[in-house]
Structure 1
Amino acid sequence: MLVFSAQYFVQFDSIFNLFSYLTFRAIVSFFTALFISLLIGKSLIAWLQQLQIRQVIRNNGPELHSSKRGTPTMGGLMILLSIIISVLMWTCLSNPYVWCVLFVLIGYGIIGLIDDYRKVVHNNSNGLMARWKYFWQSVIALAVAYTMFSLNPNTIATQLVIPFVKDIMPQLGLWYVLLTYFVIVGTSNAVNLTDGLDGLAIMPAVFVAAGLALVAWATGNIHFSRYLHIPYLYFAGELVVVCTAIVGAGLGFLWFNTYPALVFMGDVGALALGGALGTIAVLLRQELLLFIMGGSFVVETLSVILQVIFFQLRQKRLFLMAPIHHHYELKGWPEPRVIVRFWIISLMLVLMGLTTLKMRSM
């Protein structure tokens, strides 16, 4: 929005040239999202308390979580509003990649909102029926996948970038649609599974978004993309502004979500954030890099899958409780210790992922 205005006013005052610089817009996008979330956070929490939008604790969860009962949920609305406003203000709105991310962010946010609302109204942790949740997640993901494939069939935008290997980028063809579907839906649900402790999901999401911002900057720069042997994508640069908005909104939310949390993200935030990160990774052709940088989300998801398989085969539990963060809680780790150690591991994984890009240039 402001980018279009600046293009008009630049003829009168050179100060508006600032709006044409990606780095400047990325920085102000971060601060805009951060300040919006900090500004509306307290009022949103009070509004949620007034409406009695409170967290419903699942019956088979850790007993320690009974103290969290009554904490406001749906705090993800704070994240979504901050990201959307910042992105609309500071990105070039003619960029199709920006609209793809916003479409998934809003669409998955609505699914999560309905899920959270049903939990509160019916006072149980079931929420929206799983088949309907996955159905609408699939519709949105497939719509994005098919649209992007239709715009760029069998081009560099549908090749698979393999970490550590610079000379092999296979053309996916129609497999691009299937891969995009699994990445978007899988990342969305992985972040949702991770969101079980105060601040546990938001900080890894912030780390991954920051990492993807650097990747988007390199991918949208013809010289750096050539140096790193990654595809040069003309529209990728604007995703830097989207990523920094996610980082700013996430840190603003963490101000209220840090232990002990004043508000929970809810599915409205977790599903939307995960879907947005998955979409950005797909648009940048970095699905495998996301697998590395978002390793904490991967481990949380695998722990649930392994728990189910192991119990069906052996009638025993592999972990004391899944997702795995509950396993460490039941082993006696204080909640802040579990959270901070997951943060440290997430940061290490993001740095490892970025290192793989550097190794492609060697």
Structure 2
Amino acid sequence: MKIAVVRETAPGETRVAASPETVKKLTALGAQLAVEAGAGEAASISDADFEQAGATVATCAKVLDGADAILCINGPDAASLKGAKAGALLIGALDPLRRRKAVDAYGSAGLDALAMEWMPRITRAQSMDILSSQSNLAGYKAVVDAASAYGRAFPMMMTAAGTISAARVFVMGVGVAGLQAIATARRLGAQVSATDVRSATREQIQSLGAKPIFVENVAGIEGEGSGGYATEMSEDYQKAQAELVSSHIAKQDIVITTALIPGRPAPRLISDAQLATMRAGSVVVDLAADAGGNVEGCVPGENVVKHGVTIIGASNLARSLAADSSALFARNLFNFLSAFWDKDQGKLVLPDDDEIVKAIRLTQGGRVVNERLTSVS
């Protein structure tokens, strides 16, 4: 089975969908790896590194020629995959809801597209979950970027000239990114608090040494939301949460927002009026910027100053840690491929009735087959 790894063409993309480590592992399974020249350059992986691991390095056309599977970070335009054979698997983060036309084009081209970001939140799929691996790094980088923009120290410092108080960090949304943000801010010595609509996260917040900030008089979500994600809350809860945030946010130096609802615009958590209550020099990092933003006035990929507060519109922060994010993404892909690898046949076998396959398969046999897409088409 030939597996192709293409060079990313999306603006600002630095990652690559394979690493020398995963090339070696896939080759050991019996696969033939072909990597497009320069694919790992921005992630500090040279063509020679891939060749030493057992891959062949060639032009895009040669890499795609005869490939049974194509690995990518972002879903490329179907036109750039010209030459790929019908029935080839396209595996990566394909953003199906926002790039529906691209998905249709994959089907028309005869490609079987698999969206790794739709991996179900089940135990056996944890090691394949690209959202978790990339969010972990994003949560870490959000705190590092906030510390850089803040202009003051994070930990409390006692000096002969006097004491510097610890920075106060508030994390809104305690998923994978939020938990890593809490842990990173704590390691830097900040005084950390956090909130979420899911009641189960209270213990997680406390376990990391942070203070949980929760709406007490209106019920949130008991346990987890659908698929482990939060869901949209009632108007009563949203009103109570806004009041709680307003009273708490004015006292914070750093706020990091991470709230996302799959398939929906990001919920608005911080209004312009709430920003105005923060002291000058404070920093807000919006990790949901690409989905519309949690913060009013946020601009994806830009730093905006409003009321003296810097709003960082964090756009895919994992890209700024290209070597590590590529390594983790590549391992997620390998874990998926190896889980469905048939040693006797020497290739990938994807059962139609498998829970994972059904969740991530977008196109098959020249048409769109995923229920999440066909139900809205």
TM-score, structure 2 normalization: 0.25
Instruction: Tell me which of the two structures has the higher relative contact order, counting C-alpha pairs closer than 8 angstroms and 6 or more residues apart.
Output: 1
Q: Larger % of helix: which?
A: 1
Bigger radius of gyration among the two = 2
TM-score, structure 1 normalization: 0.26
Q: Larger % of strand: which?
A: 2
